[in-house]
Amino acid sequence: MKTVKVEFLNHDGLKLSGSIDMPVHPHEDGPFATFAHCFTCSKELKAIQNISLPLTRRGISVLRFDMSGIGESEGSFPETNFTTQISDFLSAAEFLEKEYKSPALLMGHSLGGCVALYAASKLPGTKAIVTIASPEEPANLAVKLKRTKQRAIKYGVAEAEIGGVKFNFKPQFFSDIETYNLKAAQKSIHIPYLAMHSVADTYSDFENAEILFEHANQPKSLISLDDIDHLMLDKEDAAYVGELIAVWSKKYI
């Protein structure tokens, strides 16, 4: 595949950094996909690139980007929340529609999967959605960061180390994410949906995928991944996930 570096503005006027992984010889009518990275990850997570490769081999171009306050994008992380992530994802899709082609496939890893699901109802050109290792509710993250939340409420800001990197959180992050109800939102999504989750995921239980699948409308699919970690650090594991998405989505996009 070949990769094209791009930049675009989000709804707050912040410059977001992205990369479009494309087939070496892209077809004029080839479909596009938008990928939402996991919480506090970035577009440079190797797993995303390794997932993209099988998709590009089947003619699908994938836009991966850094959400505001992450990686090479502008913004302050403590000022971001789940709402801004959805807005950034919509900005990415709007950029594709303006400069290339409206994304037919929406994908998201971990919390990014929830972002993709919420964005789907606002993107009429979407033909299919895929979530990978995603929680059944965004607010699950607030539960995992319970002590950070308590400190943030008490002191106005609290630090948490995630993946070896320290991040600051303000109370607004938790009050925002706890307002979302994905179960209710799924009722309005009527496009093909694929939930993927590993039974070996030690960060997020497989039950999350079962719940997402249960509340999704038809047509829907659930793929149980075996012996794959949450971040899909092994190149072959991520490539396998990409192959499955490419095969599944072919019917719809």
DSSP string, 20-61: EEE-SS--TT--EEEEEPPTT--TT-HHHHHHHHHHHHTT-E
What pLDDT does 149 receive? 97
Domain that holds residue 166: 139-179
What pLDDT does 176 receive? 98
The answer on 244 and 197 residing in a single domain is yes
Q: For the segment 54-74, what is each residue's pLDDT rounded down to a tens digit?
A: 999 999 999 999 999 999 999
Q: For the segment 145-168, what is each residue's pLDDT rounded down to a tens digit?
A: 999 999 999 999 999 999 888 999
Residue 82 and residue 145: Cα distance in Å, rounded?
14
Say if residue 92 is exposed, middle or buried (CB neighbours under 10 Å; 0-12, 13-18, 19+): buried
Range with lowest mean pLDDT among 23-27, 223-227, 235-239: 23-27
Domain boundary among 149, 179, 209: 179
Q: For the segment 168-213, what is each residue's pLDDT rounded down to a tens digit?
A: 999 999 999 999 999 999 999 999 999 999 999 999 999 999 999 9
Give the CATH number of the domain where residue 55 resides. Answer: 3.40.50.1820
The answer on 193 and 229 residing in a single domain is yes
Q: Which of 120, 137, 139, 141 is nearest to 209 (CA)?
A: 137
pLDDT(27) > 90: no
CA distances from 174 to 86, 126, 153, 181 (A): 15, 29, 9, 14
The answer on 79 and 43 residing in a single domain is yes
Terminal alpha carbon distance of the chain: 19
pLDDT(251) > 90: yes
Encoded tokens for 204: 């997020």
The answer on 76 and 156 residing in a single domain is no
Domain boundary among 179, 210, 240: 179
- The proportion of the chain whose per-residue pLDDT surpasses 70, expressed as a percent, equals 100
What pLDDT does 163 receive? 82
The answer on 38 and 6 residing in a single domain is yes
* pTM score of the predicted model: 0.96
